[in-house]
Amino acid sequence: MEHNILYTHKDLIENCRDGHRGSQYKLYELYIDAMYNVSMRMLGSKEDAEDIVQNSFVEAFRNLRNFRFESTFGSWLKRIVINKCINHLKLKKINVVPFDSQEYHISEESYEESKNLALTELGCNRNQLMSLDLSKNMALSFLQCDNNKLTNLDVSQNSILEGLICYENKLTSLNAKNGNNYNFIVLDARYNPDLNCIQVDDVIYSYHNQSFAKDICANFSEDCALASLCISDLSGTHSYISTNLQAETGTCPLDPVTGTVTWTKICNNSYSVSDLYFGMSDSSCCDDIPLPSSNEGFVLSSGDCNLLISGFLDIYGYNVTWTITGVSGSELYISWKNNLEDYGYLPDSGDVVITREGGADWPPLFTQ
């Protein structure tokens, strides 16, 4: 029986290695329930279990070339899930240096700069903190300050910080632009409903990094002071003409692909969108399975009004970046591609002209 399982899945896995979307989807469907059950038993949280499983599939698809068929795919994938669950639990219960009244100036539910400038890890979660000043703790590499009452947090001076857990506060301002974001293990700023902007080193990298977690209405920006400049309502059902379509699998049509796409404003600069790929899923580009579209959307990049960034991963772990190349009245010109090239494949890409609903002109922000 084991031999038959290995043989059957070998063909499927080989197709996945070649970037075949249909095979990836089939493999996902075969194992999603079992992997969710494993994750749920270890974590006990539906939301955490779902996140771990999605991230595990993304890692598995990225590393399929390292799978040597020495075990079933299921046991290999299960090990990835278990390891991610263990790491998640370690982050939740990380052994960090506790606060001590002899080492900190304490006043009115605030912790000012630490006297221990050699401090490398700090856990101060669930302390009802209203302020936290760590600007002189240059050796700090990990900070866990979730479940407090912090309204502002600035770690831009902590240049070797690579882990920040600050969920469930009352943040309205978060500056994580410390020059070290590329080495971050985790940045978790969820459940801060009044946080509209998170300042980071690289906007595109932050949206595409699965270890960076935030609320849907919080945008990444390299300069939050410029965030409001890009805010405009782009909602509507717009018509498009797609050309120069290219895909890793399938053969795209030479003739233009036409259709409509609906953009719905969620909040701030975030939108849901009915089709990230402008008709590619309805063409012959993608073999036998359409590209997923549910729960996907884009973010108008704060501080750079000419970038539309996919703020959501699909089940294959891909993002899309749209670069605005021009605007003329009601016509918006975009070149787009996903991040398949990060994994050594030809990216899905194309050019599109979007005509705004009703023939209205696009807002001035696109011409700045």
Give the pLDDT of residue 171.
Answer: 96
Strands (E), the chain: 104-106, 110-114, 121-123, 131-132, 142-144, 152-154, 163-165, 173-175, 186-188, 197-199, 212-213, 219-221, 236-246, 257-267, 270-273, 297-300, 307-310, 320-328, 331-338, 349-355
The stretch 37-56 carries a mean pLDDT of 83
pLDDT of residue 343: 65
Average of per-residue pLDDT across 130-155: 91
- pTM score > 0.85 for this model? no
How far is residue 319 from each of residues 15, 140, 254, measured CA to CA in Å?
21, 32, 24
Q: What is the DSSP string of 276-340?
A: TTTTGGGSSTTTTSPPP-TT-EEEE-BT-TTEEEE-S--TT---EEEEEEEEETTEEEEEEEEGG
Q: Which CATH number fits domain 2-92: 1.10.1740.10, 1.20.1260.10, 3.30.470.30, 3.20.20.450?
A: 1.10.1740.10
pLDDT digits (tens, 9 = 90+) for 253-311: 788 999 999 988 877 777 778 877 888 766 667 654 444 444 455 666 544 555 566 65
Strand order through the sheet with 110-114: 104-106, 110-114, 131-132
pLDDT digits (tens, 9 = 90+) for 179-226: 999 888 778 898 999 998 899 998 878 877 767 888 878 888 888 877
d(CA 342, CA 91): 27
The CATH class, in words, for 231-367 is mainly beta
Residue with tokens 């856990």: 123
- For the stretch 291-304, pLDDT in tens is 444 445 566 654 45
CA distance 180 to 175: 12
Write out pLDDT tens, residues 66-78.
777 766 777 788 8
Confidence grade of residue 366 (pLDDT, cut at 50, 70, 90): low
